[in-house]
Amino acid sequence: MNDLRASDADRDRVSAALGEHLAAGRLTLEEFSERVGAAQTARTHGELERLSRDLPAEVRAADRSSVHRTIAILGSSERRSRWRVPRRTQALAVLGSCELDLRRAELAGDEVVIDAWAVLGSVEIVVPEGVDVEVTGVALLGSKEERISGRRLPHAPTIRVRAFALLGSVEVRSRPVRALTP
C-alpha cells in the first residue's frame, strides 16, 4: 500500500489535515510550509504517511481568545523563534521598531488578525512563503508595504494585517523557510 501512487485527492486530504494540526498548535508555520510543500510533490502513499507520522490522528484546535501585544516606545521589540500567536495580535511602534517573525510561530487558528500601528517608527511582519496574507489600512506621510512572494499553499492559514502608519512604516513580507537561521 505504501508504494501505491498518490492522487491529487490524497495530497489534498493530507494538506488539509496538516492545516488542522497547525491550527491546533502542533506545527509551526515553518513546519506546515515544509510539510505541505512535500505533500504537494509526493508520489506515493508512503511519502504522504511520513509527513504526519509524528502527529495524532485526532485533531482538536485550541481556541485562544487572548490578545498578544508587542510594544516598542523609543526602542525596539521583536518576537522570533517559536511562539504562540493568538487569533488577535497588536504591534505598536512609537519612535521605535517592532518585528514579528511568524515563520516558526504556532497560530491559534486558521486565521490571525494583526493590528500594526507605526507612529514615527516601523513595524515589520515576516511570514513564510505560501501563507495567505491580506494587508489593509492606511499610511499618512508614511508607508504601508506588502512584499509577498511564492504561491499560496493549499489549506494555508490566513494572516490579516490591519496597518496604520503615521510618519512611519508597516511592512509585511515573506521569506523562504530555508532562509531561517538557528
- Mean of the per-residue pLDDT values for the chain? 84
Establish if 167 belongs to a structural domain.
Answer: yes
Domain tally for the chain?
1
What pLDDT, on a 0 to 100 scale, did the predictor assign at position 122?
Answer: 95
How would residue 38 be classed by pLDDT, with cut points 50, 70 and 90? Answer: confident
Establish if 60 belongs to a structural domain.
Answer: no
Establish if 103 belongs to a structural domain.
Answer: yes
Establish if 16 belongs to a structural domain.
Answer: no
Establish if 160 belongs to a structural domain.
Answer: yes
Establish if 72 belongs to a structural domain.
Answer: yes
Domain that holds residue 93: 67-179
Stretch among 36-40, 96-100, 102-106, 120-124 having the lowest mean pLDDT: 36-40
Q: Yes or no: say if 134 and 160 are a contact pair by the CB < 8 Å rule.
A: yes
- Residue 182 predicted with pLDDT over 60: no
Establish if 38 belongs to a structural domain.
Answer: no
Establish if 58 belongs to a structural domain.
Answer: no
